[in-house]
Amino acid sequence: MVAQIYYYLFGLVAIAGGATGYARAKSKASLFAGSISGALLIIAGLLTPSVSGFVLALIVSILLLTYFGRSYMAKKKSVPAIPMIVLSGICIVLTAIAWHAG
């Protein structure tokens, strides 16, 4: 299932992004948020194709989209905001398609 694989990959990207934020700026918040959101996306992948997997992925993606969208609007700093906005949007679309098809 495409959505399930995407959840795993997106989760790994979120974890890596949090680790990168910590390594570059010593941001514990980035490390914590990236680890939690990444872990939740991987859990969503494990739960898929159940409704709970889709709901979890959708909630995490919406929260990430909201956070990074607001961050970009306030700071006009494209990295990491734009990639995370795009990845979150793709996740929302894939979730909607998979949930509808499921």
pLDDT tens profile 17-71: 999 999 999 999 999 999 999 999 999 999 999 999 999 999 999 999 999 999 9
Residue whose tokens read 């194709």: 49
CB 15 within 8 Å of CB 35:
yes
Going from the C-alpha of 81 to that of each of 68, 71, 86, 87, the distances in angstroms are 5, 7, 9, 10
pLDDT score for 102: 73
Cβ pair 92, 4 in contact under 8 A = no
- Backbone torsion region of residue 26, taken as left when φ is above 0, otherwise alpha when ψ lies between -120 and 50, otherwise beta: left
| pLDDT, tens digit (0-9, with 9 covering 90-100), for 80-91 | 999 999 999 999
